[in-house]
Amino acid sequence: MLEDRNARHHEQLPMSGSSGARQDYYRAIIESAVDFAIFAMDQDGRVTDWNQGATHILGWSRSEILGQLARMIFTPEEQAEGRPEQEMRTALACGRAMDERWHRRKDGSRFWGVGELMPLRTEAGEVEGFVKILRDRTVQHEQEERLRAQASTLQTITDHVSEAVFQLNADGNITFVNPAAEAMFGWSVEELLGRNLHEALHHHYPDGRPYPADDCLLSAALRTGEVLRGHEEVFFHRDGTPRHVLCTNAPVRVDGRIASTVLTITDIAERKQAEAALAETTRRLNAVLDNATVAVFLMDDRQHCAYMNAAAEQLTGYTLAETQGRPLHDVIHHTRPDGSPFPLHECAIDRAFPENAQTQGEEVFVHKDGHFYPVAFNASPVRDEASRTIGTIIEVRDISAEKAREAALRESTERLASERHALEVLNRTGTRIAAELELDRLVQTVVDAGVELTGAQFGAFFYNVLDEAGGKYMLYALSGAERSAFEKFGMPRATAVFAPTFLGEGVIRSADILKDERYGRNAPHSGMPRGHLPVRSYLAVPVTSRSGEVIGGLFFGHPEPDVFSARSEALMSGLAAQAAIGIDNARLFQAAQQAAATLEQRVEERTAELQRTEEALRQAQKMEAVGQLTGGLAHDFNNLLTGISGSLELLQTRMAQGRLTDLDRYINAAQGASKRAAALTHRLLAFSRRQTLDPKPTDVNGLISGMEELIRRTVGPAIKIEVVGAAGLWPALVDPPQLENALLNLCINARDAMPEGGRITIETANKWLDDRAARERDLPPGQYLSLCVTDTGTGMTPEVIAKAFDPFFTTKPIGQGTGLGLSMIYGFVRQSGGQVRIYSEVGQGTTMCLYLPRHYGEAEEGDVLAGLSDAPRAEQGETVLIVDDEPSVRMLVTEVLEDLGYTAIEAADGPAGLKVLQSDVRVDLLVTDVGLPGGMNGRQVADAGREVRPGLKVLFITGYAENAAIGNGYLEPGMQVLTKPFVMEALAGRIREMIESRS
C-alpha cells in the first residue's frame, strides 16, 4: 500500500508552478514516503532536503546530510568513474535517469538499490536542482541471483543429458524442452514449445495406428498424476519413422493440484534392433544346427539361454523349453562331483561371458539324470553390424573317452616315475651305506630309505650289537615316530610274527596284521599293547650278513590295511642286502678303531703332561709379574708414607718449638703425598677392574674442553693439540674423573710415541652400531659415542696391539712405564659397558678409540666445591649416621659434620649401624664404609636399612670394594659413592647435595 501511495505521489509531482506551492507539495510527499529514500539536491549535487526513508535506508540523519554532496552514497569505484555527474547529465538530457546498482550507506556497507533521478525546474523552466527517489532491493536482488544460479545449474544438467526432458503444464502443453529432444525427434526447441505433447510427437500404438489421447495411458497419467516408470511407448520422429522409447513422469503439485509434469524419455531403438537381430540370427541358426553333432547353445545379451540344438538336448537331457530364458549355469545344475555348489566365480564358462572374446576350456556338467561327465567348450561372442556384442554362442562336446585315455596314460607315467624314484633312492642309499662307517647313522639311513620306498608311516630297524665281553644286546633306529613310542614296550620277542625275521627264515608281509593268524593275543599284552602305534599293514624283512649271521630286522607299519605290495617286499629285500654289507663294513672299521685306541690313549696322556708343564710355566710368569707389581708398590708407598710421616713429624716438632711460620709447607707436603697415594690406588683398582664407579650423565665435549689446557701443558709445546667435538654429541653415563684420567693417559702415551714432536687429534662422534659393526667391536647393537685419540707417531705392530691391554706390558724403557695405563683404561671402559679398540700402522700413527654407551637424558653440570669454611650448613635437626670400623675416620667425619651443624651418630660395625636404623631415631643420611666387620658389609647394612626406612639415602665411603658389594659396580637411585681418601669439603658438599635431592 505504501508503495502504491508513493507511486501516486510521484506521478502527481508538479514540475512547474509557483515555487512556494511546489515546495509545499514536494515536502508533503517527502514526509509521507517511508519505504523510499527521497532527497533533493541543488545543481551542484548538494543535498537540500532529506526524508525519513532516506535516513532509514542510507543511515545519515537529516542534519548530518544537508549541505553535503550526494555523491557519497555512490561506491568509491563509481565516484572515481564520475557516475554521479553522469546521472545528473542524463537526467537533464532525458528528463530522468534510472539506475539499478550497489549503493553505499553511512557505515560503509553496501545495498542493492533501484532509483530514479529527475531535474527540478522553475516556472521559467530553468533547472534549480534535482530530486532522487531510491528503494532498497537487496533481498530481492539476492533471491533473484540464487534463482538465476539454480536455473543455470538445471539448464546445464538438462542440456547435457542424453534423455529428452519435457516440462508440461496441466493441459499437456510443452513449456520446456532440452536440446536432446531435438536430436531424438527432429523438432527444434522453438517448434516444440507451446504445443501439446501428444499432438507434437504423433503418439501411436506400437503397430503404427494413431493413438487417441483419451486412450493414451501416458496422457491419462499426465492428467491424474499417476507415476509411470519405464513405460514403453512408440513416438514418431519428424520424418515419420517410429521411435521406441521408455517414459518416466514426475508430477509437480502445488496446493494439492498438478501444476506441471516433468517427463523423461529414453530412446531404446538400439535395444529393439538388437532383439530383432538376435531373433533373426536364431532363426537362421535353427536351420543350420538342427542336424549338427556338436551341442550348441545360443545366449542372449543377458547370457540367458535363447536356443539349444538337438545335440545339446541329448547331451544335457533337457529340452529347449526347459532351458530357454535361464542362465546356462542353472540349466546344467552346475555342481562339484561331491554335490557341493559350484560358485559362479569358479565356472570357466561363466567367466568367459564378460570377456567378449573367444574362450576355450573344460568343465564338468551334470546330466538331468544326475551323472557327471567332462566336456570341452568353445565360447564366441555374437556381434551386430556395429560390432556390438548381442549374445554368445557356445559349442560343447563330451570328452569322457578322452579323459579315460588320459587317466590311463597318467597312471602308466606315474608308475614309471615311481620305479625311477625307487631306483634313485636305492642308488643314493647304497652310496651312503658304502661310505658310512658309523653304525648308528648307517642304520638310520636304511630305515629312512625304507619308509620312503614303501610308503610306510613309520619304520624301525632292530639289530644285535656285541658288547666288550662278547655278549649280544639289541638296539633300534626309528623313522616317522618318537623313541618314546617303543621305550616302554621292550624289545620284540620270538613270537610267531617276529621269530621268522630274527631267525632269518624269510619276509613277513600282512595286509592286516590284526586279522593275521600268526599274530597272537597272549600275555602280557593280549594283542596290540595299550598306547602302541596303530599298525594294520605290516612288513618285516631279515638282515643277514655275508657269514650267514642274522644281524637284525627291518620292520614297517601303517595304520591303514593293504598298503604294502609285492613290489614293496622286493624293494625291502634288496635294501636289507645293502644294509647287511654296510653293517659288516662298519663292524670291521670299529674293530680297527679299538686296535688304535691304546695308541690314542698314550698320545692323550702325553698331551695332558705337556699342558700341565705349560700351565706351571704360565703360573711362574704370573707370580713374577705379581712380584714386580708388589715390589713397585712397596717402593712407591714407602716414598709416599715417608713424605706423609716426615711432614707430620716436622709439623709436631715445629709446633713444640713454637715455630709456626713453616707449618703450611709441611701440611702441603703431606697432602701432596696423600693425593699421589690416592691416585696410585685408583690406578690399581682400575687395573683389577674392581673399582667402585660413580657414573654420572656426562657431557664428554665439555669434559674435554675443561681438560684441554691441562693436556697442552702435559704434552709440551712440541706437540700440536687439535680437538674435533661432534655437534649434538649424546651424553654418556660414566665416572667423569675416571674418564679424565683415561684421556690424560692416552694423550701421554701419544706424546711418548712422538719423540720428535707431532700432532694429537682428540675427536668425538655419535655412533649407531648395527649387528655387524657391533660384533666387530664385541658390543651389543645400539647407540654409542666414541672418544678417539690419534697421534702421528711410530705406530704399533699387530703383535704389540695384541698385548697392549695386558697388565705390565710396555714398550717403554725400564723405569719409564709400569704397563698399567692401558690395562687401567680397558678395565674402566669395559666396566662402564663400553669397549676400547686400537687402529694403528707402523710409521703412520695410532688411533685409540673408547666406545661408551649413550645415556638417554641430559648431562649434569659439573660441581664446583667450596672450601670447608664455605660449605653449606645443616638445617635444624638434620642427622647423619656414620658407620666405619676405623676410629680415626669416624672421628674426622663426625667433627666435620658437627662443625656444619649436623647431629652425628657413630657406629663401629654393621650390626650396630643397623640397630640405629631400626630405631625411631631421625636419620637423614647413612654414611658407611663398604668393608665392615661384624658379618655385614656396608651394602648389606644399606639394603637392610631400606627395608625399614624406604628411600633411605646412602653415601658409601670406600678405599677398596668388591663389585658385588655395590651391585656389579653400579648404584641404585638414592645411593652415591665417595672414594677414600677425600677432602673434607668434598664430603660436606656431597652430604648437603644428597640430603637436598629428591631421589
Per-residue 3-state assignment (H helix, E strand, C coil) for 238-283: CCCCEEEEEEEEEEEEECCEEEEEEEEEEECHHHHHHHHHHHHHHH
Same fold for the pair 2-143 and 693-853: no
pLDDT of residue 255: 77
pLDDT of residue 947: 92
pLDDT of residue 422: 72
The reply to whether omega before 807 is within 30° of 0 (cis) is no
Most confident of 610-619, 698-707, 894-903: 698-707
Percentage of the residues of the chain whose pLDDT score is greater than 70? 73
Starting at the earlier edge strand, list the strands of the sheet with 389-398: 305-308, 295-299, 389-398, 372-383, 359-366
pLDDT of residue 351: 61
Q: What is the pLDDT of residues 183-233, one digit of tens each?
A: 788 888 888 888 887 777 766 665 667 767 666 667 777 777 777 787 787
Range 868-996 classified under CATH 3.40.50.2300: yes
Question: Residue ranges of the domains in the chain?
Answer: 2-143, 161-267, 273-398, 411-687, 693-853, 868-996
pLDDT of residue 139: 82
pLDDT of residue 485: 65
Choice between 500 and 588, residue whose per-residue pLDDT is larger: 500
* 452 vs 458: CA distance, rounded Å: 10
pLDDT category at 15 given cuts 50, 70, 90 is very low
Q: What is the pLDDT of residues 863-914, one digit of tens each?
A: 443 445 555 677 888 899 999 888 877 887 888 888 888 899 999 999 999 9
Choice between 681 and 954, residue whose per-residue pLDDT is larger: 954
Pairing mode, strands 879-883 and 903-907: parallel
Range 411-687 classified under CATH 3.30.450.40: yes
Instruction: Give the residue among 307, 311, 282 at the shortest CA–CA distance from 295.
Output: 311
Q: How many CB atoms within 10 Å of residue 179?
A: 15
3-state secondary structure of 697: strand
* 862 vs 853: CA distance, rounded Å: 20
326 - beta bridge partners?
none
- 495-to-499, 516, 524, 550, 576 alpha-carbon distances in Å: 5, 13, 12, 17, 21
CATH topology of domain 2-143: Beta-Lactamase (3.30.450)
Instruction: Give the residue among 924, 886, 879 at the shortest CA–CA distance from 905.
Output: 879
| HEC secondary structure over 368-405 | CCCCEEEEEEEEEEEECCCCCEEEEEEEEEECHHHHHH
Q: Is 197 within 8 Å of 174 (Cβ atoms)?
A: yes
Starting at the earlier edge strand, list the strands of the sheet with 472-479: 472-479, 458-466, 550-558, 537-544, 508-510
Cell 709456626 maps to which residue?
A: 660
Percentage of the residues of the chain whose pLDDT score is greater than 90? 9
Measured torsion, CA atoms of residues 937, 943, 946, 947, in degrees rounded to the nearest 10: -120
Q: What is the mean pLDDT of the chain?
A: 77
* 85 vs 99: CA distance, rounded Å: 13
Instruction: Give the residue among 459, 448, 444 at the shortest CA–CA distance from 425.
Output: 448
Angle at 813 (CA atoms; ends 812, 817), nearest 5 degrees:
55
Predicted confidence (pLDDT) at residue 281 exceeds the cutoff of 90: no
Q: What are phi and psi of 265, to 5 degrees?
A: -120, 125
pLDDT of residue 790: 94
SS3 content of the chain, % helix, strand, coil (to 5): 45, 25, 30
Range in 100-114, 150-164, 849-863 the model is least confident about = 150-164
* 433 vs 448: CA distance, rounded Å: 12
Range in 486-490, 616-620, 961-965, 995-999 the model is least confident about = 961-965
pLDDT of residue 159: 67
Rounded to an integer, the average pLDDT of 418-436 is 73
pLDDT of residue 520: 67
Rounded to an integer, the average pLDDT of 114-120 is 90
3-state secondary structure of 119: strand
Burial of 467 from C-beta contacts in 10 A (0-12 / 13-18 / 19+):
exposed
Rounded to an integer, the average pLDDT of 638-648 is 62
Sign of CA dihedral 592, 598, 599, 603: positive
Predicted confidence (pLDDT) at residue 491 exceeds the cutoff of 80: no
pLDDT of residue 349: 67
Most confident of 145-149, 232-236, 331-335, 881-885: 881-885
Q: What is the pLDDT of residues 675-687, one digit of tens each?
A: 666 666 665 554 4
pLDDT category at 946 given cuts 50, 70, 90 is very high
Q: How many CB atoms within 10 Å of residue 985?
A: 16
Starting at the earlier edge strand, list the strands of the sheet with 925-929: 903-907, 879-883, 925-929, 954-958, 975-979
pLDDT of residue 165: 86
pLDDT of residue 689: 45
CA 926 to chain centre: 50
Instruction: Give the residue among 328, 269, 251 at the shortest CA–CA distance from 295.
Output: 328
Predicted confidence (pLDDT) at residue 118 exceeds the cutoff of 80: yes
Of the options 3.30.565.10, 3.60.20.10, 3.30.390.30, 3.40.50.720, the CATH number for the domain spanning 693-853? 3.30.565.10
Predicted confidence (pLDDT) at residue 965 exceeds the cutoff of 50: no
Helix (H) or strand (E) holding 850: strand 845-853
* 298 vs 305: CA distance, rounded Å: 6
Q: Which three cell numbers stand for residue 384?
A: 551386430
CATH class of 161-267: alpha beta
Predicted confidence (pLDDT) at residue 425 exceeds the cutoff of 70: yes
pLDDT category at 163 given cuts 50, 70, 90 is confident
Choice between 366 and 135, residue whose per-residue pLDDT is larger: 135
pLDDT of residue 815: 42
| HEC secondary structure over 215-239 | HCHHHHHHHHCCCCCCEEEEEECCC
Q: What is the pLDDT of residues 382-394, one digit of tens each?
A: 888 788 888 888 8
Q: Which three cell numbers stand for residue 865?
A: 666445591
pLDDT of residue 248: 84
Range in 627-631, 761-765, 906-910 the model is least confident about = 627-631
Range 273-398 classified under CATH 3.30.450.20: yes
Choice between 104 and 737, residue whose per-residue pLDDT is larger: 104
Predicted confidence (pLDDT) at residue 597 exceeds the cutoff of 90: no
